[in-house]
Structure formats: structure tokens, C-alpha cells
A = this chain, B = another copy of it.
Amino acid sequence: MRYNRDDVLAQAHRLVADHGLGALTMRRLGAELGVQPSAIYHHFANKQTLLAAVAEEILVRGRRARTATHDDWTGRLREVCAELRDAMLACTDGADIVATVWAFGMGVRAPADELEAILRATGVGDELALVGSRTLLHYVFGHTFEEQTAIQAISAGAVERELDSLPDFWTGLDVVIDGLRSRVEAAVRA
């Protein structure tokens, strides 16, 4: 049985979603598909390339149509950040995987590019648009990594902790956006 790239990627995503990042090895993926690891290397040159494709798949599956109702830039930033968070939460170890591939510089650029474009359209300047996009991304990665790691560890019975403090995603996001707002307003005044 021959598998094309999409088949291999779908199985890799399923493996991670069901068993976590630790289960994603070329050997195990080959066993699940009933092929030699070499058949996987035909589509993905190495483990990093496969991981990057899984991360991209996590974002693609979480993609939502943009609402046209946000006439201000802060609502559009919130929409992109919420989509990224939800996409990562929807797959076991999703935050770890997407943040790792982002750090590798191997893809998952869509949310960062979209945040940057929204900020640039405010007239805030290229440098702040870039740093602002990265700051939002780091906040979302940091918050979602905590949220997902806690949820998974509690669900596995590995730790005891209350989740009370975790539903503060939106408040924290608004703090970051307020920090950007003061710079956007200063740029617009200038």
C-alpha cells in the first residue's frame, strides 16, 4: 500500500492528537501505517519537517472565517489570537508543537503575519508592527502552554491543581493590546 503525503500527515496528526508529541516517531508512524520508516522519509526529509507539517495542520484545522463585524483593529487582533489559542488547545500538546515549530523558524507564520498586517494598517510603523505581533504571539503561546499543560496533567491524574486562575486569557490579552493602543494612538497623532 502506497500512501501520499496527505495520508502520512493525517496519520501523524492523529497520532499526536491521540497520544501526544512523545508518540510521534518515524518508527511508530511507520508501524501505524504498516510501512517502513523509509516510506515516510520519502515525504518528510526528517523529524523536524514532519513536526512542522503537523503544526501547520493544527493551524489549518483551527482556521475560521473572519467576521466582518470588527471595524476596529483591536477586535481583529483578538480574533486572530483566539483562533490561534483554540487551534492549539484542540490537539494534544498543540501549544508545545506550534511554539516549537515557530521557534525553529519552520512555518506556522499565518497568525504572526496576520497580526503584523493588522498592526501595520493602523499606521504604527513596521518595527512596532513586527514586535507587537511577536509580543501578542508570545503571550498567547505562554498562556496556552500553561492552560494546556495543566489540563492534560490534571486529566492524566499526574498533578492536582485548581484551574480557577486560568480563565484570565482575555484580561491578559487586553493588557497587551492596551500597551499597543498607547503606541498606535501616539503614531496616529504624530
B-binding residues in A (CB < 8 A) = 48, 99-100, 102-106, 130-132, 134-135, 137-143, 145-147, 149-150, 153, 158-162, 165, 168, 171-172, 174-183
Contacts and interface: CB of A to CB of B under 8 A. Distances in A.
A106 B138 CA distance: 23
A56 B183 CA distance: 37
Contact of A104 (B105, B149, B179): B149
Contacts of A138: 138-139, 141-143, 146, 172
Given A103-B146, A103-B153, A140-B142, 13 more contacts: A99-B146, A105-B150, A105-B161, A130-B168, A131-B172, A135-B175, A138-B139, A139-B142, A139-B176, A141-B145, A174-B179, A176-B179, A177-B179
Per DSSP, are chain A's interface residues mostly helix, strand or loop, or mixed? helix
A142 B137 contact: yes
Contacts of A180: 175, 179
Contacts of A147: 103
A170 to B, nearest CB: 10
18 contacts: A48-B158, A99-B145, A105-B159, A106-B161, A130-B168, A134-B165, A134-B168, A134-B172, A135-B139, A135-B175, A135-B176, A138-B143, A142-B142, A142-B143, A175-B176, A178-B178, A179-B179, A179-B180
Contacts of A150: 103-105
Contacts of A183: 175, 178
Nearest to A103: B149
